[in-house]
């Protein structure tokens, strides 16, 4: 428990420093590319809540932060309160493989970075599709928003951990991208893939 708490705290510190510039950028890209600015949004593997907070600030979305770590949710609750968004952002303990929400209840599902830690991609994407409302979309994957942000963050993180670039390249490498895309294809979910300087993202749109 102490180790998990320390990990959640470390993630929060990095999100507020080195990674801080990416969240408003990615939030704007999500809103622009998905065209959903109101309704219910679910941030899966939300950690300290940085992306969900950025989305709430830039839209009329009601955001739910979902994370399996209670320590991360405690930190996220504090961050939401400090952002003055407690009326727009709620917290939900849970796991992507069994999302504790009704079918068809979410208009926009986002996730940055957690996909690389999902144990069962097929089950996770099936659950995501289940809770999506008709016409709802996902923006799930990983990235840094722009090439400039990716490069500057890589320099900063490698100073902290020389192995970090290898970790990044493994997650966002062609083999892993193909594996993830293959799962979505096999499930027959209507989707498109964004693979550019913003990152690697799966945009699923649930049919009406």
The answer to whether residue 172 scores a pLDDT higher than 80 is: yes
Chain segment 90-147, per-residue pLDDT in tens: 999 999 999 999 999 999 999 999 999 999 999 999 999 999 999 999 999 999 999 9
CATH number at residue 26: 3.40.50.150
- Quote the pLDDT of residue 7: 81
Distance CA 44, CA 94 (A): 9
Extended beta strands in 76-131, E state:
89-93, 106-112
Pick from 134, 122, 105: which is nearest to 42 by CA?
105
- Quote the pLDDT of residue 208: 87
- Greatest mean pLDDT range, 1-10, 37-46, 169-178: 37-46
- Between 85 and 10, the more confident residue is 85
Q: Which value, to the nearest 10 degrees, does the dihedral of the CA atoms of residues 121, 126, 127, 129 take?
A: 120
CB atoms within 10 A of CB 17: 10
- Quote the pLDDT of residue 13: 95
Number of domains in the chain: 1
- Quote the pLDDT of residue 91: 99
User: The tokens of 127 are what?
Assistant: 């659950």
Sign of CA dihedral 53, 92, 94, 181: negative
DSSP state of 119: S
Chain segment 184-205, per-residue pLDDT in tens: 999 999 999 999 999 999 999 9
Residue 19's domain comprises 2-204
Q: Is the pTM of this model over 0.85?
A: yes
Distance CA 185, CA 188 (A): 5
Chain segment 36-78, per-residue pLDDT in tens: 999 999 999 999 999 999 999 999 999 999 999 999 999 999 9
Distance CA 83, CA 1 (A): 27
Distance CA 69, CA 114 (A): 12
- Quote the pLDDT of residue 5: 60
- Quote the pLDDT of residue 3: 52
Distance CA 112, CA 25 (A): 12
Are β-strands 89-93 and 106-112 bridged in parallel, bridged antiparallel, or unpaired? unpaired
């Amino acid at each position: 428990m102490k180790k998990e708490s320390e990990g959640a705290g470390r993630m929060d510190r990095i999100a507020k420093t080195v990674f801080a510039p990416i969240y408003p950028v990615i939030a704007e890209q999500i809103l622009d590319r998905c065209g959903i600015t109101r309704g219910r949004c679910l941030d899966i593997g939300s950690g300290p809540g940085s992306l969900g907070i950025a989305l709430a600030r830039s839209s009329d979305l009601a955001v739910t932060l979902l994370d399996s770590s209670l320590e991360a949710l405690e930190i996220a609750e504090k961050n939401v309160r400090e952002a003055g968004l407690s009326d727009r952002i709620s917290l939900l303990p849970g796991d992507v493989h069994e999302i504790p929400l009704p079918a068809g209840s979410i208009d926009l599902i986002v996730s940055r970075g957690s996909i690389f830690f999902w144990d069962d991609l097929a089950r996770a994407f099936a659950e995501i599709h289940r809770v999506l409302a008709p016409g709802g979309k996902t923006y799930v994957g990983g990235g840094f928003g722009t090439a400039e942000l990716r490069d500057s963050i890589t320099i900063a993180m490698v100073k902290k951990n020389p192995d970090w670039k290898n970790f990044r390249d493994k997650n966002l490498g062609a083999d892993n991208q193909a594996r993830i895309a293959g799962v979505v294809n096999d499930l027959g979910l209507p989707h498109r893939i964004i693979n550019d300087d913003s990152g690697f993202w799966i945009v699923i749109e649930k049919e009406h």
